[in-house]
C-alpha cells in the first residue's frame, strides 16, 4: 500500500518543484498542487547562478539545463553612450558552474517537471488553495479544483511556494515587509538588429532611466526599461519598446520582432517569518526581488532544496529541531539577496546629476581595480553562504579541520574502492548526507567502518555515503572488513592537515560542513552521526 503524502507543496514553479523532487529523491511521499491549469510559456526569470545550479545538479537537472542555456561572459555598464565598467563572468573557482547561465524559466520548470515524473511524483493542476489553518501538530488545508470539487486535508507539513501573492502566507497572516518601487517596468524578448555582444548583459544608465539588454540562448535579446507610473495597462507593444530603445540606446538598435512582452511593478519584500508551525514559506512567497541580478529564482531554488532535505531528514528520524534552522538560514540569505538587488536597482535609477557623476566615477574605479568583479559576482552566485551561526551546525571546529557552517571546498580524488568520482564535489553531487573520514591510521579506518555499519543498521544508506579519505602520498590499504564505505586518496579541504588520529566530518546534502570531530578516542564518530536520520519514520513530527 502506498504511503500517504506527508508533505503538501503548494505551487509548481521552480521552488515547489525543487522541494518536491528533493523530498522524493530522499524517499518521502509528497503531494504537489498548483492553481494554474498547466505550465505557462512566459520566459520570466532568465539568469541561473552557481548556487542554484549546484542545487539542481544534486537533483540531476543542472546538466540538461546547461545544454539549453547560454553561458553569459560578463556584464558592462554604460552612461551617456560611454562604457564605464565591465565585469567578467566564469571566473568562480571551486565549483562546477563558474559562471551564470541564461535560460528562460519555462526550460528550468520543464526539466524539473520531467525529474519529478521520473521520481514518481505528479502535479495536481487547477487546484486552488482557499484556506490554511494550523491545528495542533498539523496543517489543515482546504482546496478546490477547477471542476468545483472541494477537499479538506490535514497534513504534517505544508510548503507554501505559491508566489508573491501567496495564499498560504496571507491565510496565516504573516506580514510581507518591504517596499514597492514607484516605477513601472516593461520588457520584451525578441530580435534586435544592431551591434550587440552575443553573450553579454549590458546596462545603459541615463537620467530618464535604465536600458538593460541581455542575450538569449536561442538568439535575440531581452530589452528592459523602467518608466514613471502611468495609465497604460497590458503588455507594451513594439512601438513603445522601440521608442524607449531609441531614447536610451541612442538609435543604435532596432526591434525587428518580439515574441513576449510584459509590464509590471517591482516589489522588494521579505516575509516576517518563513515558518508558522507546520507551514513553511519558500521562493517568491517568502521574498520578492528587483530583477537586478536575477536573484529571485536563484534564492527560491535554494530554498526548495534546503527545505526538502531537512523535511526528509526529520521525516526519516532526524531530530525535529533540524527544521528550526530553516528560518535562521534562509531568511537572512534572502534578505541579503533582496538588499543586493535593491542596491543595484537604486544605482540604475539615480536622477540628480551629482549622484550620477559619483556613481559613474565609482563604477569605473572599482572596475579598473577588479574590486567590482570580486564583490558583485560572489554575491550574485550565492555559492558560499556563511551559516556558522545556524542552529543546525556545531560551532566548535576541530584542529586542522574545515569550518562548520561553510561549504566544503573541492579537492581531486584518486578513487581506490567504491568511489568513482575524481573530485570531492563530484562525490558529493548526489545530494545525500555524507560522512567524510580523513586519516591514514587504523583509527580512521575503524571510524569509517563504524559509520557505515551504523547507517546500514538504521536503514538510511540510501540517504548517506561514507568516504575514507587517505593522504595522496601514502600507501593504499585494503579494508579489513567488507567494503561498506568508499575509499579514495586526496587532501582534506580546510585550514590544515588532520592530526595523526584523523578527523571525521558530517557534510549536509548542500555540501555545508555540519560537524567536525577529531578521532582522538574511540567512538567519536558516533557523536557525529547524531545529526543524521535514524531511520525511524515519523508521520507527525511535532512542530
**Contact 516/462 with Cβ under 8 angstroms?**
no
Res 1: pLDDT: 36
Sequence-distant (6+) residues with CB within 8 A of 362 are none
Shortest CA distance to 515 belongs to which of 524, 431, 523?
524
Sequence-distant (6+) residues with CB within 8 A of 328 are 389, 390, 391
Shortest CA distance to 531 belongs to which of 313, 334, 374?
313
Alpha helices by DSSP H, 395-439: 424-428
**Contact 27/464 with Cβ under 8 angstroms?**
no
Tell me the C-alpha distance between 518 and 167, whole Å. 48
**Contact 252/153 with Cβ under 8 angstroms?**
no
Res 484: pLDDT: 83
Residue 234's alpha-carbon distances to 197, 291, 374, 432, in angstroms, are 30, 19, 40, 46
Q: If you count them, how many residues does the chain have?
A: 543
Mean pLDDT in consecutive groups of 10 residues from the start of the chain, 543 residues: 78 98 96 93 91 98 97 94 94 94 96 98 96 93 91 96 97 94 91 93 93 94 91 90 94 94 92 98 95 90 98 96 97 94 87 92 94 93 94 84 93 91 95 93 89 94 94 65 80 71 93 93 90 76 43
**Residue 196 has which C-alpha cell?**
550587440
**Residue 447 has which C-alpha cell?**
571510524
**Contact 248/209 with Cβ under 8 angstroms?**
yes
**Contact 438/488 with Cβ under 8 angstroms?**
no
Tell me the C-alpha distance between 213 and 203, whole Å. 7
Place of cell 534564492: 299
**Contact 468/519 with Cβ under 8 angstroms?**
no
Tell me the C-alpha distance between 43 and 248, whole Å. 24
Alpha helices by DSSP H, 26-124: 50-58, 62-67, 105-118
For residue 267, count CB atoms less than 10 angstroms from its CB and return exposed for 0-12, middle for 13-18, buried for 19 or more: middle
**Contact 501/520 with Cβ under 8 angstroms?**
yes
Strand order in the sheet with 279-281: 123-124, 30-33, 7-10, 157-160, 279-281, 275-276
Question: DSSP string of 142-175?
Answer: EEEETT--EEEEEESEEEE---TT-HHHHHTT--
**In a 3-state reduction of DSSP, which class is residue 36?**
coil
Sequence-distant (6+) residues with CB within 8 A of 355 are none
CA dihedral (450, 451, 456, 459) positive or negative:
positive
Sequence-distant (6+) residues with CB within 8 A of 106 are 39, 40, 41, 42, 43, 44
Shortest CA distance to 333 belongs to which of 371, 292, 295?
295
Amino acid at each position: 500500500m502506498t504511503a500517504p503524502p506527508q508533505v503538501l507543496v503548494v505551487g509548481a514553479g521552480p521552488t515547489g518543484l525543487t522541494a518536491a523532487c528533493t523530498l522524493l529523491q530522499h524517499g518521502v511521499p509528497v503531494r504537489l498542487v498548483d492553481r494554474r491549469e498547466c505550465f505557462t510559456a512566459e520566459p520570466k526569470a532568465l539568469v541561473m547562478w552557481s548556487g542554484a545550479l549546484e542545487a539542481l545538479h544534486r537533483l540531476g537537472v543542472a546538466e540538461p539545463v546547461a545544454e539549453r542555456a547560454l553561458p553569459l561572459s560578463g556584464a558592462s555598464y554604460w552612461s551617456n553612450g560611454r562604457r564605464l565598467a565591465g565585469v567578467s563572468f566564469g571566473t568562480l573557482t571551486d565549483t562546477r558552474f563558474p559562471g551564470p547561465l541564461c535560460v528562460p524559466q519555462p526550460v528550468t520548470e520543464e526539466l524539473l517537471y520531467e525529474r519529478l515524473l521520473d521520481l514518481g511524483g505528479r502535479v495536481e493542476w487547477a487546484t486552488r488553495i482557499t484556506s490554511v489553518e494550523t491545528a495542533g501538530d498539523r496543517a489543515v488545508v482546504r482546496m478546490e479544483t477547477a471542476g468545483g470539487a472541494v477537499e479538506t486535508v490535514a497534513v504534517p507539513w505544508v510548503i507554501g511556494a505559491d508566489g508573491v501573492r501567496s495564499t498560504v502566507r496571507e491565510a496565516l497572516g504573516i506580514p510581507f515587509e518591504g517596499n514597492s518601487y514607484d516605477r513601472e517596468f516593461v520588457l520584451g524578448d525578441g530580435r534586435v538588429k544592431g551591434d550587440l555582444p552575443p553573450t553579454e548583459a549590458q546596462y545603459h544608465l541615463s537620467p530618464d532611466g535604465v536600458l538593460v539588454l541581455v542575450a538569449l540562448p536561442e538568439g535575440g535579446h531581452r530589452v528592459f526599461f523602467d518608466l514613471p507610473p502611468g495609465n497604460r495597462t497590458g503588455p507594451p507593444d513594439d512601438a513603445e519598446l522601440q521608442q524607449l530603445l531609441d531614447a536610451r540606446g541612442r538609435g543604435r538598435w532596432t526591434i525587428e520582432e518580439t515574441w513576449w512582452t510584459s509590464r509590471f511593478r517591482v516589489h522588494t519584500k521579505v516575509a516576517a517569518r518563513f515558518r508558522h508551525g507546520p507551514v513553511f514559506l519558500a521562493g517568491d512567497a517568502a521574498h520578492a526581488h528587483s530583477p537586478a541580478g536575477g536573484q529571485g529564482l536563484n534564492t527560491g531554488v535554494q530554498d526548495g532544496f534546503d527545505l526538502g532535505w531537512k523535511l526528509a531528514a526529520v521525516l526519516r528520524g532526524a531530530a525535529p529541531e533540524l527544521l528550526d534552522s530553516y528560518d535562521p538560514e534562509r531568511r537572512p540569505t534572502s534578505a541579503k539577496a533582496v538588499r543586493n538587488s535593491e542596491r543595484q536597482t537604486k544605482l540604475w535609477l539615480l536622477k540628480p546629476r551629482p549622484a550620477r557623476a559619483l556613481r559613474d566615477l565609482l563604477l569605473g574605479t572599482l572596475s579598473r581595480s577588479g574590486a567590482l568583479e570580486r564583490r558583485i559576482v560572489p554575491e550574485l552566485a550565492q555559492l558560499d553562504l556563511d551559516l556558522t551561526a545556524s542552529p543546525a551546525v556545531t560551532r566548535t571546529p576541530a584542529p586542522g579541520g574545515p569550518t562548520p557552517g561553510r561549504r566544503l571546498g573541492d579537492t581531486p580524488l584518486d578513487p581506490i574502492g567504491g568511489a568513482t568520482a575524481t573530485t570531492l564535489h563530484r562525490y558529493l553531487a548526489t545530494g545525500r548526507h555524507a560522512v567524510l573520514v580523513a586519516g591514514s591510521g587504523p583509527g580512521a579506518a575503524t571510524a569509517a567502518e563504524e559509520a557505515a555499519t551504523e547507517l546500514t543498521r538504521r536503514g538510511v544508506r540510501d540517504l548517506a555515503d561514507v568516504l575514507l579519505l587517505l593522504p595522496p602520498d601514502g600507501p593504499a590499504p585494503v579494508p579489513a572488513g567488507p567494503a561498506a564505505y568508499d575509499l579514495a586518496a586526496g587532501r582534506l579541504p580546510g585550514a590544515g592537515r588532520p592530526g595523526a588520529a584523523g578527523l571525521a566530518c558530517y557534510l549536509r546534502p548542500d555540501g555545508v560542513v555540519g560537524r567536525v570531530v577529531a578521532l582522538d578516542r574511540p567512538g567519536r564518530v558516533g557523536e557525529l552521526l547524531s545529526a543524521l536520520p535514524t531511520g525511524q519514520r515519523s508521520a507527525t513530527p511535532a512542530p
